[in-house]
C-alpha cells in the first residue's frame, strides 16, 4: 500500500492552478508543479520506498506525528523565507500538502495500558500520521480529495496566500481558487475497492486529477505538460529537456541536503510558535 496522500496525479494539478492564480507564469507554475510531485516520483525521495529512513517520511512527507497546525505554519515560513530554490520550494509545497493530507482524528480517549490509563490530550483533534507507518493501516482512503474536501480547501487557501507572498504585485485570480475548492466538494468519496486495491486507487486518483486539470487556469492549459505517472527515465528526460542541467544535481545528494535544511530551519522561522519545528 502507498503511504502518500493527495499523491500520484493530484499534487501537480493543484500546485499548478494555485501558482497560476497567484500570478506566476506558465513556465514557473509548471516548475512548481513538477517539483511538488517529485517526492512521490523519485524512489529516493518516496516515503513508502524509504520507510526505514524516518527522515524521508518526516521531513519530505510530513509523517511526523503531533500537531499539524504547527507544522503547516513552519513550512509556510520556510517557503516565504526565500532561502530555498524553486525546486526545493516545490518539494516544500509537497510537504505542506501532506501536512493536511497526512492527518487523522485521534479518537483514543486514553493513553497507556488499561491499568494505567491517562487522558489523551489530543483526543478529538487532528494529528499527523507517525513516521514509517504513515497511513498504512488506513489504506488508500486518505489519498482522495473527495473524502475530505474541507481539508483540501484549507490547504488550497494556505498555499494561495503563501504563493502570493512569493509573487508580490502579481496578477492574482481568486476565481481559480474558488473553482478548485468547489470542485473538491463535487468529487465523490472513495469506494471500498479504491481504498484497498492500488489499481482502483490509481483510477480514482486519475479522475480527481482530470477534474482539477480541466478547470479554467488548470494544468491542461499549460504549454509544458508533464506526465506524473512517468518512470524515473521520463523524469530524467523531462528534467534535462526543460532546464538543461546535470541530472545528478538533483538525483545525487540533494535529498539529504534538503532534509537538513528543513530540519535546521532558517532564522526567524518559528515566530511565536513553540515547538513547531519538526526537530523540536
Give the model confidence (pLDDT) of 220-243 as tens digits.
Answer: 888 877 766 655 445 556 655 554
Contact 95, 74 (CB under 8 A): no
pLDDT band of residue 192 (cuts 50, 70, 90) is: low
How many residues are recorded in the chain? Answer: 280
Minimum mean pLDDT range among 40-54, 138-152, 236-250: 236-250
Residue 197, pLDDT > 60, answer: no
Backbone dihedral angles phi then psi of residue 128, each to the nearest 5 degrees:
-80, 145
Report the pLDDT averaged over residues 237-264.
67
Nearest residue to 211 via CA among 231, 191, 181, 190: 181
- pLDDT value for 209: 82
Residue 185, pLDDT > 70, answer: yes
Summary mean pLDDT of the chain:
78
Nearest residue to 138 via CA among 47, 5, 250, 276: 5
Nearest residue to 270 via CA among 31, 10, 78, 30: 78
Residue 271, pLDDT > 60, answer: no
- pLDDT value for 104: 79
Could you report the per-residue pLDDT of 15-41, keeping only the tens digit for each?
999 999 999 999 899 889 988 988 887
* Alpha-carbon distances, residue 250 vs 53, 72, 114, 240 (angstroms): 19, 25, 49, 11
SS3 category, 51: coil
- pLDDT value for 155: 96
- pLDDT value for 239: 55
Amino acid at each position: 500500500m502507498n503511504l502518500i496522500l493527495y499523491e500520484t496525479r493530484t499534487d501537480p494539478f493543484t500546485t499548478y492552478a494555485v501558482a497560476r492564480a497567484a500570478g506566476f507564469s506558465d513556465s514557473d507554475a509548471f516548475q512548481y508543479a513538477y517539483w511538488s510531485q517529485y517526492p512521490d516520483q523519485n524512489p529516493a525521495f518516496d516515503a513508502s520506498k524509504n520507510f526505514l529512513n524516518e527522515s524521508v517520511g518526516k521531513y519530505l512527507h510530513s509523517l511526523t506525528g503531533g500537531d499539524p497546525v504547527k507544522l503547516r505554519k513552519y513550512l509556510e515560513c520556510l517557503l516565504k523565507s526565500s532561502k530555498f530554490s524553486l525546486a526545493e520550494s516545490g518539494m516544500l509545497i509537497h510537504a505542506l500538502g501532506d501536512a493536511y493530507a497526512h492527518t487523522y482524528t485521534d479518537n483514543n480517549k486514553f493513553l497507556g495500558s488499561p491499568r494505567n490509563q491517562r487522558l489523551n490530550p489530543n483526543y478529538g483533534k487532528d494529528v499527523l500520521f507517525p513516521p514509517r507507518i504513515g497511513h498504512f493501516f488506513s489504506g488508500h482512503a486518505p489519498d482522495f480529495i473527495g473524502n475530505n474536501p474541507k481539508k483540501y480547501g484549507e490547504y488550497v487557501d494556505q498555499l494561495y496566500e503563501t504563493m502570493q507572498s512569493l509573487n508580490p504585485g502579481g496578477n492574482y485570480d481568486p476565481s481559480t481558487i474558488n473553482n478548485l475548492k468547489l470542485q473538491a466538494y463535487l468529487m465523490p468519496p472513495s469506494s471500498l475497492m479504491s481504498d484497498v486495491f492500488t489499481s482502483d486507487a490509481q483510477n480514482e486518483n486519475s479522475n480527481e486529477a482530470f477534474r482539477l486539470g480541466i478547470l479554467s487556469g488548470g494544468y491542461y492549459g499549460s504549454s509544458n505538460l508533464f506526465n506524473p505517472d512517468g518512470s524515473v527515465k521520463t523524469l530524467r528526460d523531462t528534467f534535462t529537456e526543460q532546464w538543461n542541467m546535470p541530472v545528478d544535481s538533483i538525483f545525487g545528494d540533494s535529498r539529504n541536503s534538503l532534509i537538513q535544511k528543513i530540519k535546521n530551519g532558517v532564522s526567524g522561522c518559528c515566530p511565536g510558535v513553540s515547538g513547531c519545528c519538526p526537530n523540536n
